[in-house]
Structure 1
Amino acid sequence: MNTTSLIRQAGVDDVEVVAVMVGELLTEIMHTIGESVFNVDLPATRSRLREFFLQQRYVVFLAETEQHQPLGFIALCPSYALYAEGAFGTIPEFYVRPAFRSQYVGQRLLEKAKAFAHTKGWTRLEVTSPPLPHFDKTLAFYQREGFSIAGGRKLKHLL
């Protein structure tokens, strides 16, 4: 099945649909790796996302059918680092619903994100893949789209 998708910038009116897909993304990762590493709290996610939109700290591009059925999304945040030679973009969440994968939805979302990054003058886009080897296909997708492994692992310290 090949689905025609439209890509548009999401806003406050899209909080519900994006928050639901964030929950789907996190649940899929936890189910696949067999560990409960995220707190999936839909009301808190909705509230946080609404604030991010209102503060213009977070940009989301939403893929949907012509009938407005949501297929996936990509989120972007500005970041700054000396190693990156200035401002760059981080992709904190990127998700395509399973039924619509391998139909170029993810590729089109990433193309939109790259075009947006150029308009902001960002030097690069960075993304962290979900845990490997469980998500080798995800890593292969990013590499096909021009991303290269930068080394290291993502670490966190909860405060």
Structure 2
Amino acid sequence: MLKIRKANIKDSVIVSNMINKLDSELSGISYTENEDLVKISGELLHESVNYIVFLAYEGTDNYVGLISVTESNAVYAGGRFGIIHELYVTPERRSANIGGQLFNVVKALGKEKEWKRIEVGAPNSIKWGRTIDFYRRMGFEEIGPRMKFVL
């Protein structure tokens, strides 16, 4: 039976391992060292009241998915809104509605916090069509590409 719970600092290795796998899938680069990811996820889970991760698991320690979200503010969004940063489901458990259940937890959080919307940076639609289809099924609409500037 699938269960979902909020992650805490003790989960930093689980969180970093899943995000490492997600990054590997998206970039095509296989990462072996994730000490930095463990440190970063531990810091965020400990220090930030704004960075929230939910873990999906079966049994006692079979983690099969995660979703991370933060709250942001913008006039264009009507005030406070959520941003999904990472959503990962293990390959063998995809198409089992785990991503949908994780998103439903974030939607409930958004309603509780009175967010006006939830945004997500979607991957390339040609390469990741199934991911785009998932977000559309969840009710997302395309609003344009995102860009980044590295400091």
Superposition TM-score, scaled by structure 2 size:
0.94
Q: How does 1:55-70 map to 2 (within 5 A)?
A: 55=47, 56-70=49-63
3-state DSSP of counterpart to 2:36: helix
Distance 1:17 1:39 in 2: 15
Distance 1:75 1:139 in 2: 18
Structure 1 vs Structure 2 CA RMSD? 1.6
Distance 1:59 1:80 in 2: 16
> How far did residue 117 of structure 1 move?
1.0
**Contact 1:10 1:60 survives alignment (8 Å):** yes
Superposition TM-score, scaled by structure 1 size:
0.89
**Contact 2:69 2:106 survives alignment (8 Å):** yes
**Contact 2:80 2:115 survives alignment (8 Å):** yes
Distance 1:39 1:125 in 2: 30
- Letter of the aligned partner of 2:129 in structure 1? D
**Which structure is richer in relative contact order (CA contacts within 8 A, separation 6 or more)?**
1
- Identical positions, percent: 33
Paired residue for 1:5? 2
Paired residue for 2:91? 98
Distance 1:41 1:109 in 2: 27
Paired residue for 2:107? 114
CA deviation string 1:17-53 (max 9, x = no partner): 110000000000112xxxx6x9885111111111111
Instruction: Count matched residues.
Output: 150
The yes-or-no answer on 1:46 pairing with 2:38 is yes
Moved over 3 A (4+): 38-41
CA 1:81/1:39 → structure 2, altered by over 3 Å: closer, same or farther?
A: farther
Gaps of 5+ in 2: none
Relative to its length, the structure with more strand (as a share) is: 2
Distance 2:60 2:46 in 1: 26
Q: How does 1:122-141 map to 2 (within 5 A)?
A: 122-141=115-134
CA deviation string 1:77-133 (max 9, x = no partner): 111110001010000111001000000111100000100111111111100111220
Distance 2:14 2:31 in 1: 18
Gaps of 5+ in 1: none
